[in-house]
Amino acid sequence: MSKEEVVLLDFWASPFCGRVKIALAEKGVEYEHREEDVLGSKSELLLNSNPIHKKVPVLLHNGKPVCESTVIVNYIDEAWPSPPLLPTCPYERARARFWGDFIDKKIFEGGAKIWGSKGEALEVGKKDFIEILKQLEGTLGEKDFFCGDNFGFVDILLIPLTTWFYAYEKFGGFKVEDECPKFSVWVKRCMQRESVAKALPEPEKVYEAVVMLRKMNGIE
Amino acid sequence: MAEEVKLFRTWSSPFSLRIVWALKIKGVEYETIFEDLYDKSPSLLQYNPAHKKIPILVHSGKPIAESYVILEYIDETWKETPLLPEDPYERAMARFWAKFGDDKVLTSIVWGVFIKEGKEQEEAMVEAMKNLWLLEEELRGKKFFGGERIGFLDLALGWLANFISILEDVAGLKIVDEDKFPLLSAWMKDFADSPIIKDNWPPRDKMIAKFQALRDEKLAAAAAASK
């Protein structure tokens, strides 16, 4: 029996699961990966481990479940302290947590207003989404990563969400690269990291899944 | 060297109260700036341009926004009387339940039960009861959510200890029944009467007036929308 048992309940298209996979890879933590059929039938283990939300990702560490992707990423950082995902100085840590919270509140929901609507509502959604990306672009500034020279917490929370951007671009008729070029450079920089490239799905595959979601929600 | 600590808040915001409690529990001296959210100060807009909200903590000129972010910053900067537990798993649980408190408990009670009536309110009440029951279970074997003494999760959920009775009075219904939620009721009383906490509740009469106005406004808007 290995001394640390780490299991991840996962769904391939979920950007929230992507965050956890990247964090574990950055820390060099070995884990067992279990794919959940989230649109079909969820496993007993998932329903028992996350009875409140019944969602992925769930990280099980020696049998104890941790739920909610941002809580999980913080947990991974604290349970395996090296290399650190957050800066050392309290103010910079607060800045990182603030932008992590901003990303949690704005990006996925903002994107849903594009793929989940049409006509005027879609146009408004697109405009708002681009505004949000511009705010993030502003906070990134001239830095390589959101907290400076090192890939870390904020990058980990955000980069998986960008795998859904291709779908938003197709439905919204825009390109992130044209609207926010510096943001696109950051995306490419992150995608060069092995931990990121291995964890994330192809945006084209995500697009196919979103097309299906759109039909299921009766939007066409 | 004196460090300048300022808290931008409103008199009634439960999110601001978390910060007041944390600073006082840690014995941190600070200056309060009360904001009028209908007439936000240039400082507020400068310190929190992303959300334009309170609370904002400004420490030696550097602003921090979002109440849970501020609480963690306070805990890391002033290390006496720690708020979060030491163990990473316990810390994850505190953060998980704090998020649940805002996303589900507060939403279902204030934006569900409180501002609705009739059948809509009944349905919202079912959801609110489910959420409160989960908190009741979480208290099993503990005096406070933090264990023997008040911690991060108590501060996160602390608004319940005062706001619930105000919402119940204004809406004319019981939300936290002592028979259904004995542990939660006991915690609400213990928390509300704790040193520091008991001296910092907003004035009850002003709260009743404010929440009455909120309920009236929301019910009127709903009635107008359904015409």
Q: What is the DSSP letter of A145?
A: B
Give the other-Cβ count within 10 Å of B45's Cβ.
10
Mean pLDDT of A46-66: 97
Residue with tokens 């996979």: A21
Per-residue pLDDT at B147 exceeds 80: yes
Pairing, β B31-34 against β B5-9? parallel
pLDDT band at B3 (very low <50, low <70, confident <90, very high): confident
Residue of A nearest to B135 (CA): A52
Q: Determine the 3-state secondary structure of B56 from DSSP.
A: strand
Per-residue pLDDT at B2 exceeds 70: no
CA distances from B25 to A38, A56, B91 (A): 44, 36, 19
Interface with chain A: mutation pick from B53, B83, B95, highest number of A CBs within 10 Å = B95
Closest CA–CA distance from residue A50 to any residue of chain B (Å): 11
Per-residue pLDDT at A1 exceeds 80: no
Please tell me the distance from the alpha carbon of residue A3 to that of residue A26, in angstroms, as a whole number: 20
Residue pair B62/A94 in contact (Cβ under 8 Å)? The answer is: no
Interface with chain A: mutation pick from B69, B77, B131, highest number of A CBs within 10 Å = B69
Mean pLDDT of A60-80: 98
pLDDT band at A4 (very low <50, low <70, confident <90, very high): confident
Please tell me the distance from the alpha carbon of residue A214 to that of residue A208, in angstroms, as a whole number: 10
| Tens-digit pLDDT profile for residues B158-200 | 999 999 999 999 999 999 999 999 999 999 999 999 999 999 9
CB pairs under 8 A between A and B: 59
Per-residue pLDDT at B69 exceeds 60: yes
Mean pLDDT of A69-86: 98
Mean pLDDT of A109-124: 95
| Tens-digit pLDDT profile for residues A7-48 | 999 999 999 999 999 999 999 999 999 999 998 899 999 999
* The predicted structure's pLDDT at residue B72: 98
Question: Do residue A75 and residue B91 have CB atoms under 8 angstroms apart?
Answer: yes
| Tens-digit pLDDT profile for residues A150-165 | 999 999 999 999 999 9
Chain A CB contacts of B65 below 8 Å:
98
**Cα end-to-end span (Å), chain B:** 63
| Tens-digit pLDDT profile for residues B76-121 | 999 999 999 999 999 999 999 999 999 999 999 999 999 999 999 9
pLDDT band at A3 (very low <50, low <70, confident <90, very high): low
pLDDT band at B1 (very low <50, low <70, confident <90, very high): very low
Question: Do residue A94 and residue B88 have CB atoms under 8 angstroms apart?
Answer: no
Chain B CB contacts of A79 below 8 Å:
88-89
What is the Cα Rg of chain B in Å? Answer: 18
Both tokens of residue B150? 């008040």
| Tens-digit pLDDT profile for residues B35-64 | 999 999 999 999 999 999 999 999 999 999
Q: Which of B50, B77, B91 sits opposite A102 (nearest CB)?
A: B50
* The predicted structure's pLDDT at residue B226: 87
* The predicted structure's pLDDT at residue A217: 87
Give the other-Cβ count within 10 Å of B123's Cβ.
13
> Which of B214, B129, B219, B221 is closest to B177 using CA atoms?
B129
Closest CA–CA distance from residue A74 to any residue of chain B (Å): 8
Mean pLDDT of B118-133: 97
> Cis (ω within 30 of 0) for the bond into A84?
no
| Tens-digit pLDDT profile for residues B70-88 | 999 999 999 999 999 999 9
